[in-house]
Amino acid sequence: MTQLSGKVAIITGGASGIGEACAQVFAREGARVVVTDIQSDRGKRVAAAVGGTFVEHDVSDEAEWSAAIATTLSAHGRLDIVINNAGMFAAQTIEDCDLALWNKVLQVNLTSVMLGCKHGIAAMKENPGGPSGSIVNVSSITGFIGLASAAAYTASKGGVRLLTKSVAVHCARTYKTIRCNSLHPGAIDTPMNQAAFEASGDPEGMRAFFDSVQPLGRMAGAAEMAECALFLASDRASFVTGTELVADGGWLAASGPL
């Protein structure tokens, strides 16, 4: 039997990168997948490829969260997994910080996770058979250490880490069977990171740096992160809540520079 047989999963930012890989891995493991993204054409292609459903979805908009959940429940009658993966990166130090961009990064990277948890729990507690579910919030190693060149991004990912713990404790005390954990990738070979490399003016140099700074000597693939999310989402992690799964090639262990 596949690990997610009979389960329904919403994956935000599912049109590319880690989200797309999660859609592929979760469908492989038997889940019915709802892919959400603002990238409509690409998201539709991903959903079609995995036999899932696509919902165009601005994760920073609460009304759109309500609509995405409603679509999921109408189609499938339950919600078992929320992967809060959608995010954005902005390169700006604290001295360069533009308030409008700061607010946008926090809305997309942190407020969206709050909304995903809030509305996900509301659906999960009404599941047939009683409350149950798993929420996986995609943070970053910058949830532990500071990235000097990205103040807003670092703040948002640190917020995701601690919000996850608050949600996990609340759900454990209130429902027992709804879990919440955070996933902390290191440098991953995704379109978002490639865009950041291009913006640096030296994409090959940046890629070489991020390959070298992780003790395993390379960036990870998105599919490797999806396998980590799979564990947290599955019943194999039934006693895991409020914790961090760090998948960074040993970066934090080596205290590499940021």
φ/ψ (deg, to 5) at 257: -75, 145
Which regions of 3-102 does DSSP assign to beta strands (E)?
8-12, 32-37, 53-56, 81-84
Confirm whether 117 is domain-assigned: yes
pLDDT at 194: 75
Segment holding 189, helix H or strand E = strand 188-189
Range of the structural domain that residue 180 is part of: 8-250
pLDDT at 137: 99
SS3 123: helix
Confidence of residue 200 (pLDDT cuts 50, 70, 90): confident
pLDDT at 258: 58
Confirm whether 59 is domain-assigned: yes
Q: Of residues 153, 197, 210, 251, which has the active-site annotation?
A: 153
Confirm whether 258 is domain-assigned: no
Among residues of the chain, what percentage have pLDDT more than 90? 83
Confidence of residue 226 (pLDDT cuts 50, 70, 90): very high
CA distance 131 to 124: 6
Is the pTM higher than 0.85?
yes
Confirm whether 43 is domain-assigned: yes
Mean pLDDT within 32-42: 98
Confirm whether 109 is domain-assigned: yes
pLDDT digits (tens, 9 = 90+) for 173-192: 999 999 999 999 998 888 77
Using alpha carbons, select from 28, 34, 30 the residue that is nearest to residue 11.
34
Number of domains in the chain: 1
pLDDT digits (tens, 9 = 90+) for 163-176: 999 999 999 999 99
Confirm whether 256 is domain-assigned: no
Confirm whether 2 is domain-assigned: no
pLDDT at 207: 82
153 is catalytic: yes
pLDDT digits (tens, 9 = 90+) for 233-254: 999 999 999 999 999 999 999 8
pLDDT digits (tens, 9 = 90+) for 69-113: 999 999 999 999 999 999 999 989 999 999 999 999 999 999 999
Confirm whether 203 is domain-assigned: yes
Confidence of residue 210 (pLDDT cuts 50, 70, 90): confident
Mean pLDDT computed over every residue of the chain: 94
CB 211 within 8 A of CB 219: yes
Confidence of residue 198 (pLDDT cuts 50, 70, 90): confident
CATH number, position 244: 3.40.50.720
